[in-house]
Amino acid sequence: MEQLNSISRRRFVAVAGVMGATLGLAACGGNNAQEPAAEKPAEEPKKEEKPTGAEPKKEEKKDEKKDSAGQEFEGTILAVGSSALQPLAEAASKEFMKKHPKVQMTVQGGGSGTGISTIAQGGCDIGNSDVFAEEKDVDPKEAKIKDHKVCIVGMGPIVNPDVKVDDVTKQQLKDIFMGKVTNWKDLGGDDQAIVVINRAAGSGTRATFETFALDGETAMQSQEQDNSGTVAKMVAETPGAISYLAFSYFTDKIKPLKVDGVEPKQENIMDNSWLIWAYEHMYTAENPTPQTQGFVDFMLTDEVQQTIIPELGYIPVSGMKVERDVEGNVKNL
């Protein structure tokens, strides 16, 4: 793997360099400086002008302006990983590319595991993940990667809308997922078998749910499904079904449950009264390229935190009243 790392890294840098140089020359003709990040003009994305002829191969990126606010980035950014974070990263990347038309950003899904292993191998610029790298047995220091918590995702149990139960205690939730309670009538509902639909073993959603909703217990063997969209469909169509989803996938076709009387809502996560939530992470190399650093910084600006993130159903980091570390220790801010 060592050899693989070094080669892929080098090649990747070379490709990025060539692309950067190409783009740099391409924009030489009409270089219109973009507005600073704070304003959000409703401008159309500008098409690149066609480059003239074949460009000579250039490795170094020149003319990098170092002023912080109106800095113009160029080159490529590749983000790989968590499919839950993908829509957000994609939406943000579109905004980012509008501001920095010389940047070509690609957002890939593939799962949190793929994200962390790819960034650890140097195969991408940003590794998206629903979980801490430590939870996947990857030591960030050893792998020389840096964690950026960009937002929070809340998760909650959901049931088929025909289920009469609205509120469960944490103990009841545990009993359901561990197979001790198998009929809704034991929880005050109709005489209807409980169909547990779990998430794929190893997925970030399942890890979060088992840690914070089931107190670290492992759920029983049952139906599993990986994709949030499919889970929502299955729960909506299967009588007596229960599963869990990120808040962003809640629709009117499924019914979220309260746990211990607490509603699965953004405000309740901010003060940690709703416990089932996790950070969304963007891992970068310890010394990322300027454009990558620029994008991660952009993720934390108010424009993303206050506009795109809430619109997608995530919770901005800036609004949190608490902080939680890898071990689950909560600290008030």
Q: 250-309: which residues touch other proteins (CB under 8 A)?
A: none
Torsion of CA 265, 271, 274, 277, to 10 degrees: 90
Between 1 and 42, name the residue whose CB sits nearer to other proteins.
1
Mark the segment that binds other proteins (CB under 8 A) among 197-205, 259-267, 279-287, 322-330: 197-205
DSSP 107-169: EEEE-HHHHHHHHHTTS-SEEEESS-GGGGT--HHHHTEEEEEEEEEEEEEEE-TT----EE-
Mark the segment that binds other proteins (CB under 8 A) among 83-91, 177-185, 262-270, 271-279: 83-91
**Distance (Å, rounded) from C-alpha 74 to C-alpha 191?**
61
- Asked if residue 147 binds other proteins (CB under 8 A), the reply is no
Q: 223, 306, 322, 326: which one contacts other proteins (CB under 8 A)?
A: 223
User: Which residues contact residue 199 at a Cβ distance below 8 angstroms, ignoring those fewer than 6 apart?
Assistant: 205, 206, 209, 224, 225, 226, 231, 243, 244
- Asked if residue 84 binds other proteins (CB under 8 A), the reply is yes
- Asked if residue 234 binds other proteins (CB under 8 A), the reply is yes
Q: 24, 204, 256, 316: which one contacts other proteins (CB under 8 A)?
A: 204
Q: Do 304 and 95 touch, CB atoms closer than 8 A?
A: yes
- Asked if residue 160 binds other proteins (CB under 8 A), the reply is no
Three-state DSSP class for residue 215: coil
Residues 43-62 that bind other proteins (CB under 8 A): 45, 47-48, 50-51, 54-55
Shortest distance (Å) from residue 277 CB to other proteins: 17
By rule CB under 8 A, what string of x and - marks binding of each residue 3-22 to other proteins? -x--xx-xxx-xx--xx--x
Closest CA to 209 of 138, 147, 154, 167: 154
Dihedral sign from CA coordinates of 152, 249, 82, 73: negative
β-strand partners of 111: none
Q: 167, 175, 186, 224: which one contacts other proteins (CB under 8 A)?
A: 224
Between 111 and 140, name the residue whose CB sits nearer to other proteins.
111
Q: 27, 37, 77, 116: which one contacts other proteins (CB under 8 A)?
A: 116
Mark the segment that binds other proteins (CB under 8 A) among 40-48, 170-178, 184-192, 324-332: 40-48
